[in-house]
Structures are given as structure tokens and as C-alpha cells.
Structure 1
Amino acid sequence: MGYKFEIMTQEQAEEIAFNWHYDAEYSFYDMEADKEDLVEFLDPNKRGDSNFVVTKDNDIIGFFSFNQVDINTIDIGLGMRPNLTGNGNGLEFLKAGIEFAESKYLPQKIMLSVATFNQRAIKVYRKIGFEEVDTFMQDTNEDSFEFLKMTYLC
């Protein structure tokens, strides 16, 4: 696969936050779309050592955040560089993130939440073995959106 995970630097966070823009409905995932998320993403103390950039051949491919829910569970967030989405790269990218999480955190379960309109991502999550747990409403991007919580057993 050739993916490398490194703790996100301030410069990388700013690059992602201000220069990554997704097309059409996926602009929902632009960092600037939610001011609270943007502030948190840009704050090195809040990012801590749980946010990683993923590079391949020295190019930033995407990022992952890993948050310990309890001793056995990790909650992940992820994003892929906009020009790489929708081209069949998601499964390999997600596999790399899961393998990294399993080796670093040794979880029994990995959780994630995804906007229900993002069927493209949900299809990838299902394909790798994530199962649907619940849906919930979340206020974000100045509105309320339905999200799907999914889990993966390691």
C-alpha cells in the first residue's frame, strides 16, 4: 500500500482546512463549513497526538483521527484529499487506517459516524466489514443532519 501515518503538523492542518474543497453535496465535508469543527481542527492542543496525516510518495492522501472511547473501542474520523475521492481509492485507504488503528491502539471495536447522504462512503464501510448500529441527528454546518453510526469488530 505504501501509506505512511504521521502526527498532523499545524501546516498540514491549515493546508487541509483551507485548501481542500469537495464537489457538490460533499462540500458538507469542507472544514470551513462548520466553524466549531474548523477551530478544533486548527487548534494543536485539541488535535493532540490523535490526528494523523496519511502520505504516499510524500503526498498527503488524507487524514485520520483516532479517539479512545473506552479501553476496547476507538472512534475514527477520516478524510481523503478531494481529487482522490470517488475514484475507487477509499477501500485501500480505509484498510490502511484500520491496520494502523489495530497496531497502535489494539482495539476490539472501531466506530465511526457518517452522514447518511454519503452513500459512497457507507458502501466502502460496509464492504470492509462495518455494520450499522444506529442513526442520530447532529447539529453541524448551521443545520441538523442525520448520521449513521457504524462499528467494525477487530
Structure 2
Amino acid sequence: MDYSLKKMTQQQAEEIAYQWHYPDEYRFYDMEADEEDLEEFLDADQRAEDYYVVEKNGQLMGFFCFHPKQHGKVEIGLGMKPEWTGKGKGLGFLQSGLQFVILNYRPSAITLSVAAFNKRAIKLYTKAGFAETGTFMQNTNGGCYEFVSMAWSPDSQHRENEETSKSQ
């Protein structure tokens, strides 16, 4: 897969927080858009062992955070460098993080939340085997926004692989 995950350094956290700016409605994902998120992201103690950068051929492509939850579930968060979004690189990027979490955490399920307006990301997550599990409202970025909860499990991936094999 050519992608590698490494612990996020303070310098990388600051680069992502202050230099990554997304276009149009995706500005919602700029780290500076929410003070609490920014504070957590920049605080090495709060990032702890949960934040990793993704590199490809030595170039910073994005980041993942992994938060273990009850019953063996792991919640993930992620961000791709703005210049790489919308260029067909998302699935490989996402699969690198999924492979990492599966190998290192052995989760019973992987969960994530995505802003409901972000149809592009929802389509990607669905393609990777995630299924929508609900919606909720969240106060963030100076307002209240709808989010979609999604989950991936080894069972759903196994079913998806079987369906792909049958259709070929």
C-alpha cells in the first residue's frame, strides 16, 4: 500500500493545525475552526498515543487518531491533507488506517462520525465497508451540526468480500 503510519510529532501537529486549510464548505474541517479540537490536537499529552500521521513516499498525506472504547470497539478520526482530497486517493488512505487499527487493536468494530453534509466522505466510508448506524446533533465550530455515525466490523467486511466474489 505504500502508506506508513508513524506517531505524530508536535511539529506535524502544528503544521496540520495551522497550515491545512480546506476549500468551500470543507473549511468546516480546518483545525482552527473549533477551539476545543485545536487545543486537544496541539497538546501532546491529550494526543497521547492516539494520533498518527500517514506518509506516502516520505510525504505527509494525512492523519488518524484511534480511541479504544468499550467492548473492543475503536473510534477513529482522520484527515487528509487538503491538496490530496478529491483526487481518488481516499480509499487507499483509509484502508491504510483500517489495516493499522486491525493489526494493532484487533477491534470488534471500528466506528467514526462524519458531518452529514460531507457526502463525498460518506460515499468513501461506505465503499470501504462502513454502514450508517444513526445520526446525532453536535455543538462544534460555533454551531450545532448533524453528524452521521458509521461502523465497520470484521463480519461486515467478510460479507462484503463474499458479495464481491459472487458478483464477479
TM-score w.r.t. the length of structure 2 is 0.90
CA distance in 2 between counterparts of 1:70 and 1:35 reads: 27
CA distance in 2, matches of 1:12, 1:104: 22
* 1:17 alignment partner in structure 2: 17
Residue 135 of structure 1: aligned partner:
135
SS in 2 for 1:113: strand
Which residue of 2 is the match for residue 80 of structure 1?
A: 80
Q: Distance in 2 between matches of 1:7 and 1:65?
A: 10
Amino acid at match of 1:100: F
Identical aligned residues as a percent: 52
> The residue matched to 1:129 in structure 2 has which SS?
coil
Q: Which one has a larger percent helix, Structure 1 or Structure 2?
A: 2
Alignment of 1:20-31 (within 5 A): 20-31=20-31
Partner-residue secondary structure (3-state), 1:92: helix
Aligned-partner residue type, residue 42 of structure 2: L
**Alignment of 1:125 onto 2:88:** no
Residue 11 of structure 1 aligns to a residue whose secondary structure is: helix
Counterpart of 1:109 in structure 2 is: 109
Unaligned runs of 5+ residues in structure 2 are 155-168
Question: Mean Cα displacement is larger for which, 64-73 or 16-25?
Answer: 64-73
The CA distance in 2 between the partners of 1:70 and 1:60, in whole Å, is 31
- Name the residue aligned to 1:43: 43
Provide the aligned C-alpha RMSD in A: 0.6
- Counting matched residue pairs gives 154
